[in-house]
């Protein structure tokens, strides 16, 4: 089929091979890569990254034997396009005019009809035997053509173009600026094997880019909107399902990790179960970050690598605060045992955060991870991502625990003296273990108490114990006795019993969350 084409007959089908796009995360979204020899549309609004996506795929796959042909039509001239595209790290100057060739069709489109355009493209394809063909902007061809061409002629043109390019075993990308309302009954989209939609969302002061696979023949792609970011390396995509496949890494005999606080380890039944997600919740100044710092410091003391993801202060400030507690975080950073990630780019997304943390876990072999704090994390997100914060945390915690790392997250609560809140996000179900810190007023003094609220991995202490923050970190005292309603924050002294008589007089059953 086709003039000089190589396509096989229906009686001799070939297995569809996958083409790696060279775009981080994109192959996963596509379901394992792009079907080779497919006819695809890259569409969306201006500034979404359409041209950059096509260039990145092109430079990743073009060779002198199977070059890439990039047809430009009344858009940016090649010299202007290359001026900007060469700033990306994927750009390979040595491939120009050999593996990557630019051809300007503007004159043909302006002066002639669709048949002439098709003839010009086919002529270049037959001469070069390309592996990749890009037409940018195909929308311009369509607009010029529809001035004197009916819809049937346009559809016939698109079908003939697809047939020729597929018969020459070229993977094709037609780039165009479209609105979502133009998708219905558009002959270009009907013929296409794949339709990749790139968009920008402006919300208050933030801009968020998204990618959606609206159509892909022959394989199951990942549905939904995926975050997209353009960096100095080009486009990076963040699949919604990243990290959620595969089994959770757990050994048959789950070991316990020391928190760095002996008394707390006893309350936890021997320490934090390895691979768990622990949430430590409490009001401002209650010692959440101090606890997290001790957890990381204990791991470093035992030779375990650690990662701290922070959103509210810079790494040098975090390391300086650890030093005031007698903990050296500078040396472990220098020798690669500790990574402090300061995650505050503009328009941050949960998917990007997850990707960066998991990359750091794999790079360092970390066993311990601190996220400090969830409130700072939420504020760092672009407004649109805050709406889905709970769902995104579910995906992130699931992905991280599958790596086998033990997570300690801190969350700040506005203290209430009528209930024992655990999280402002209703995400306590995401955590395997929960430690609650709170203030209580006793005899005119504001004192701090902690309790282990939840442990999925086994039994734990039910004691409510007082603690203090010292120059060496959290110091946990004895169980408070002789009071009723400690978890309300306004306890009452029990009458008829002494808090010093050694009997178990504290009751948490009389207090409700």
Q: How far apart are CA 81 and CA 352, in angstroms?
A: 28
Identify the band that residue 1 occupies on the pLDDT scale cut at 50, 70 and 90.
very low
Residues in the chain: 513
Task: DSSP for 306-375, please give it.
Answer: EEEEESSS-HHHHHHHHHHTT---HHHHHTTSEEEEE---TTB-HHHHHHHHHHHHHHHT-SEEEEE-HH
Q: For residues 165-187, give the mean pLDDT.
A: 84
* Cis status, amide bond into 153, omega within 30 of 0: no
> For residue 150, is pLDDT > 70?
no
The reported pLDDT for the residue numbered 484 is 83
Query: How many other β-carbons are positioned within 10 Å of the β-carbon of residue 420?
Result: 19
The reported pLDDT for the residue numbered 506 is 38
Q: How far apart are CA 454 and CA 434, in angstroms?
A: 5
The reported pLDDT for the residue numbered 487 is 78
- Helix (H) or strand (E) holding 499, with range, is none
Chain position carrying tokens 């004895």? 478
Q: For residues 469-495, give the mean pLDDT.
A: 86
Q: How far apart are CA 456 and CA 466, in angstroms?
A: 24
Q: Please report, rounded to a whole number, the percentage of residues in the chain having pLDDT higher than 70.
A: 84
Closest CA to 392 of 225, 159, 504: 225
Identify the band that residue 189 occupies on the pLDDT scale cut at 50, 70 and 90.
confident
Identify the band that residue 5 occupies on the pLDDT scale cut at 50, 70 and 90.
very low
**From 13-22, 89-98, 147-156, the region with the lowest mean pLDDT:** 147-156
Locate the DSSP E strands across 25-120.
34-35, 39-44, 68-72, 100-104
Indicate the pTM of the whole model.
0.75
Domain ranges of the chain: 18-238, 256-493
Q: How far apart are CA 435 and CA 280, in angstroms?
A: 5
The reported pLDDT for the residue numbered 8 is 46
Q: How far apart are CA 82 and CA 101, in angstroms?
A: 12
Chain position carrying tokens 């002294």? 493
Residues in contact with 119: Cβ distance below 8 Å, sequence separation at least 6, in sequence order: none
At 189, give phi and psi (nearest 5°): -70, -30
Do 88 and 56 contact (CB within 8 A), yes or no? yes
Closest CA to 3 of 188, 160, 225: 160
Identify the bridge partners of residue 341 per DSSP, sorted by sequence position.
309
Chain position carrying tokens 């060779």? 63
Q: For residues 256-282, give the mean pLDDT.
A: 95
Q: What is the mean pLDDT of the chain?
A: 84
User: Who has greater pLDDT, 390 or 165?
Assistant: 165
> For residue 492, is pLDDT > 80?
yes
Q: For residues 275-291, give the mean pLDDT.
A: 93
> For residue 435, is pLDDT > 90?
yes
The reported pLDDT for the residue numbered 53 is 96
Q: How far apart are CA 451 and CA 1, in angstroms?
A: 75
Q: For residues 467-489, give the mean pLDDT.
A: 88
The reported pLDDT for the residue numbered 226 is 92
The reported pLDDT for the residue numbered 200 is 87
Identify the band that residue 326 occupies on the pLDDT scale cut at 50, 70 and 90.
very high
Tell me the torsion sign for CA atoms 94, 99, 105, 108: positive
- Select, from the ranges 112-121, 206-215, 264-273, 381-390, the one with the highest average predicted confidence (pLDDT): 264-273
Closest CA to 270 of 278, 259, 282, 283: 259
Q: For residues 466-487, give the mean pLDDT.
A: 89
Do 50 and 41 contact (CB within 8 A), yes or no? no
Q: Do the two domains 18-238 and 256-493 of this chain adopt the same fold?
A: yes
Do 390 and 425 contact (CB within 8 A), yes or no? yes
Q: For residues 102-128, give the mean pLDDT.
A: 87
The reported pLDDT for the residue numbered 512 is 34
Chain position carrying tokens 């005292």? 477
Q: How far apart are CA 425 and CA 505, in angstroms?
A: 34
Identify the band that residue 7 occupies on the pLDDT scale cut at 50, 70 and 90.
very low
Residues in contact with 220: Cβ distance below 8 Å, sequence separation at least 6, in sequence order: 31
Q: What is the pLDDT of residues 91-104, one digit of tens each?
A: 999 999 999 999 98
Q: How far apart are CA 431 and CA 437, in angstroms?
A: 16
Identify the band that residue 501 occupies on the pLDDT scale cut at 50, 70 and 90.
very low
Chain position carrying tokens 């989209």? 189
Q: State both tokens at 329.
A: 């975080």
CATH topology of domain 256-493: Rossmann fold (3.40.50)
**From 209-218, 270-279, 343-352, 487-496, the region with the lowest mean pLDDT:** 343-352
- We find that the CATH architecture of domain 18-238 is 3-Layer(aba) Sandwich (3.40)
> For residue 363, is pLDDT > 70?
yes
Q: How far apart are CA 97 and CA 382, in angstroms?
A: 41
Q: What is the pLDDT of residues 197-234, one digit of tens each?
A: 999 877 667 778 899 999 999 889 999 999 898 999 99
Q: Please report, rounded to a whole number, the percentage of residues in the chain having pLDDT higher than 90.
A: 48
Query: 498: exposed, middle or buried (C-beta count within 10 Å: 0-12, 13-18, 19+)?
Result: exposed
Residues in contact with 233: Cβ distance below 8 Å, sequence separation at least 6, in sequence order: 88, 89, 90
Closest CA to 160 of 195, 119, 130: 119
Do 209 and 202 contact (CB within 8 A), yes or no? no
Pairing of strands 483-484, 492-493: antiparallel
Q: How far apart are CA 343 and CA 339, in angstroms?
A: 12
> For residue 427, is pLDDT > 90?
no
Residues in contact with 416: Cβ distance below 8 Å, sequence separation at least 6, in sequence order: 489
The reported pLDDT for the residue numbered 245 is 64
Please enumerate, as own/partner, the contacts of 7-10 that have beta carbons within 8 Å and a separation of 24 or more.
Answer: 7/166, 7/167, 7/169
Locate the DSSP E strands across 252-314.
256-257, 272-273, 277-282, 306-310
Chain position carrying tokens 């300086």? 320
Identify the band that residue 146 occupies on the pLDDT scale cut at 50, 70 and 90.
low
Do 132 and 20 contact (CB within 8 A), yes or no? no
Q: For residues 58-67, give the mean pLDDT.
A: 96
Identify the band that residue 369 occupies on the pLDDT scale cut at 50, 70 and 90.
very high
């Amino acid at each position: 089929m086709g003039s000089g084409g190589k396509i096989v007959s229906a009686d001799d089908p070939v297995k569809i091979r996958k083409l790696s796009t060279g775009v981080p995360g994109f192959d996963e979204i596509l379901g394992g890569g792009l079907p080779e020899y497919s006819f695809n549309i890259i569409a969306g609004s201006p500034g979404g990254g359409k041209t950059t996506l096509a260039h990145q795929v092109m430079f990743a796959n073009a060779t002198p034997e199977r070059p890439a042909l990039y047809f430009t039509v009344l858009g940016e001239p090649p010299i202007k396009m290359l001026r900007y595209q060469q700033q990306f790290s994927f750009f390979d100057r040595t491939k120009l005019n050999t593996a990557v060739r630019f051809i300007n069709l503007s004159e043909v489109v302006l002066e002639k009809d669709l048949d002439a355009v098709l003839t010009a493209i086919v002529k270049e394809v037959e001469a070069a035997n390309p592996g990749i063909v890009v037409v940018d902007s195909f929308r311009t061809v369509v607009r010029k053509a529809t001035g004197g061409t009916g819809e049937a002629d346009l559809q016939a043109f698109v079908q003939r173009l697809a047939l020729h390019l597929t018969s020459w075993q070229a993977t094709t990308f037609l780039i165009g600026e479209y609105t979502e309302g133009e998708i219905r009954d558009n002959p270009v989209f009907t013929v296409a094997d794949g339709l990749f939609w790139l968009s920008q969302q402006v919300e208050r002061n933030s801009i968020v880019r998204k990618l959606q696979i609206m159509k892909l023949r022959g394989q199951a792609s990942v549905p939904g909107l995926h975050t997209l970011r353009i960096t100095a390396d080009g486009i990076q995509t963040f699949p919604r399902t990243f990290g959620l496949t595969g089994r959770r890494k757990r050994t048959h005999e789950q070991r316990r990790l020391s928190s760095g606080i002996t008394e707390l380890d006893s309350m936890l039944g021997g320490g934090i179960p390895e691979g768990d997600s622990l949430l430590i919740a409490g009001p401002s100044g209650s010692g959440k970050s101090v606890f997290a710092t001790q957890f990381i410091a204990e791991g470093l003391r035992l030779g375990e690598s650690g990662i701290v993801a922070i959103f509210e202060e810079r790494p040098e400030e975090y390391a300086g605060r650890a030093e005031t507690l007698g903990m050296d975080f500078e040396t472990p950073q220098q020798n690669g045992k500790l990574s402090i990630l300061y995650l505050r780019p503009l328009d941050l997304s949960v998917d990007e955060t997850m990707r960066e943390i998991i990359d750091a876990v794999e790079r360092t072999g970390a066993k311990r991870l601190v996220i400090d704090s969830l409130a700072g994390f939420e504020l760092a997100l672009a407004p649109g991502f805050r709406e889905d914060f709970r769902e995104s945390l579910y995906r992130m915690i699931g992905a991280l625990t599958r790596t086998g790392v033990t997570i300690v997250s801190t969350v700040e609560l506005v203290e209430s003296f009528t209930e024992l809140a655990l999280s402002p996000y209703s995400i306590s179900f995401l955590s395997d273990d929960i430690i609650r810190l709170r203030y209580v007023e006793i005899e005119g003094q504001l004192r701090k108490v902690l309790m282990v609220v939840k442990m999925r991995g086994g039994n734990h202490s039910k004691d409510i114990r007082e603690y203090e923050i010292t120059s060496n970190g959290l110091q946990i005292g004895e169980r408070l006795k002789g009071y009723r309603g400690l978890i309300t924050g306004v306890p009452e002294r029990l009458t008829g019993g002494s808090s010093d008589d050694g009997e178990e007089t504290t009751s948490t059953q009389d207090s409700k969350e």
